[in-house]
Amino acid sequence: MKFFRRMSTLQSLAVGFMCIILAGALILMLPCSNRDGGTVAFVDALFTAVSATCVTGLSVFDVYTQFTFFGQLIILLLIQIGGLGFMTVAISFSLMLGRRIGLRRRMLLAEAVSAWQIGGVTRLAGRIFGGTILLEVLGAALLAVRFCPLLGMGQGIWFSVFHAVSAFCNAGFDLMGALSAGGSMTYFAEDPYVLLVLSALIIIGGIGFLVWNDLLECRFRWRKFCLQTKIMLTATAILLIVPTGLYLLLERSGAFAEMSVPQAVLSAFFQTVTTRTAGFFTFDNQKLSEGGWLLTVFLMFVGAGAGSTGGGVKITTVTAVFLALRAHIRRRKEINAFHRRLSDETVGRAFTTVAIYSLLLFGGCFMLSALQNLPVKQTLYEAASAIGTVGLSSGITGLLNTGGKIIVMILMFCGRMGSLSLAMAVTRSKKSSGLLYPEGKIITG
């Protein structure tokens, strides 16, 4: 017990996620979880559990054809816990039972949801949990309009619930193997109703819990929003509009060549929404042009909002780096946005996060290429999908050997925990010696 008490909040969160992943993997190995009544290899069960808990969506199996209803339910629970954060779920249940929440648990929760302060964090947890359930139920009800007539009442409701949770948590797992094996949402490629409902769930889940709270606190009045909310809403709109136009431009004679104009617009928009963290698809991504392929990798790298159900570098991080570059090019000392100044610490963390993610991305790409002898184009796509917790695949997930699966699992875990947070969790902070060394100069460009 003393060992756990000495852990920092970040270390406790990392260990907590590992324990949930291990428990999920062991359950998925059971005969009652698999349709054939047998067991699956531990590394494959672990891969599935990591992907579900880290809300990624990469899988060596087709979820519907491999797992029973019980196995699918376990995957759904892992997705829900991974999307909300296990501390949010645990504390929400404690609040419902009327139990007192101690200081350490409040600190863990604040870290889990990226809250700025401990004060009011339990109320925030209640709002997150209640809001999540409400939105997922609403999403399931809307999807049931299509799924129940198609699949029957019982299976239609289950599919509606599963895909509503998977979309809101930006997980990308699907049960569409019942309609087209390995086809994700290709069956609904021409159905704007289903795709727009899924898109709305993905976007709402990806903007971040703090943004939700600010929208409620400020009653949707722009002037009162905090800087985080203004940046998230503005940048999200840009990342929805611009890439949609780019996909249409790049793929009109490529992946969208055989589509009508309305279907191409719908596919481009859904691709833009799902690529940043969700992992659903309506067409074969291997048909993308070279430009579309690179755009997809970039969007996977950017990811969703901080403190959200999604992964990636995070939208606010990329925005801070862009604003810093713009200020530096213009030779301005202050880095401003919406009449507010970003602190040096914020900018430093943003650059550090981008640097660590970049190292992990290219390191993972190199290791996958070296171990699997696969083209760099495919391994870069797979590594970006893993670290961005997206779930889109270049078609090599099922070809990975044990070493390749371990690398992808590490990337998924780093992407969900946050590369900087994970680095801080495994390193010790050192107190300053008090010495100030003489300034040295280097040429940096």
Please tell me the predicted confidence (pLDDT) of residue 165: 94
Q: How far is CA 42 from the centre of its chain?
A: 24
Nearest CA to 207 out of 199, 196, 197, 218 is that of: 199
SS3 of residue 437 by DSSP: coil
State both tokens at 182.
């390995």
**Residue 336 DSSP code:** E
Please tell me the predicted confidence (pLDDT) of residue 427: 52
**Residue 219 DSSP code:** T
Query: What are the residues whose beta carbons fall under 8 Å from the beta carbon of 284, sequence distance 6 or more?
Result: 186, 255
pLDDT tens track of the chain, all 445 residues?
A: 454 456 655 666 677 788 889 999 999 999 999 998 888 999 999 999 999 998 888 888 889 999 999 999 999 999 988 887 655 655 555 555 555 655 555 555 555 555 555 556 667 777 788 888 899 999 999 999 999 999 999 999 999 999 999 999 988 899 998 887 777 898 999 999 999 999 999 999 888 888 888 888 888 889 899 888 999 999 999 999 999 999 999 998 888 988 999 999 999 999 999 998 888 999 888 889 999 999 999 999 998 888 777 788 889 999 999 999 999 888 888 888 898 898 888 888 889 889 999 999 999 999 999 888 888 999 999 999 999 889 888 888 888 899 999 999 999 988 887 654 555 444 555 555 567 778 776 665 6
Q: How far is CA 235 from the centre of its chain?
A: 17
For every residue of 378-405, DSSP letters joined together read HHHHHHHHHHTT-----S-GGG--HHHH
Q: How far apart are CA 100 and CA 94, in angstroms?
A: 8
Q: How far apart are CA 365 and CA 351, in angstroms?
A: 21
State both tokens at 304.
């969703």
Nearest CA to 315 out of 238, 224, 242 is that of: 238
Beta pairing partners, 67: 34
How do strand 336-337 and strand 340-341 relate by DSSP bridges? Answer: antiparallel
Please tell me the predicted confidence (pLDDT) of residue 1: 47
Please tell me the predicted confidence (pLDDT) of residue 425: 47
The CA-CA-CA angle for residues 311, 42, 356, to 5°, reads: 30
Distances (CA, A) of 285 to 95, 134, 259, 307, 365: 44, 33, 15, 28, 19
Residue 78 CB neighbours (<10 A):
28
**Which contiguous run of DSSP H or E holds residue 341?**
strand 340-341
Q: How far apart are CA 305 and CA 8, in angstroms?
A: 24
Query: What are the residues whose beta carbons fall under 8 Å from the beta carbon of 43, sequence distance 6 or more?
Result: 402, 405, 406
Nearest CA to 56 out of 417, 429, 439 is that of: 417
Q: How far is CA 423 from the centre of its chain?
A: 18
Determine what percent of the chain falls in helix, strand and coil, rounding each to the nearest 5. Answer: 65, 0, 30
Backbone dihedral angles phi then psi of residue 107, each to the nearest 5 degrees: -65, -40
Q: How far apart are CA 384 and CA 275, in angstroms?
A: 11
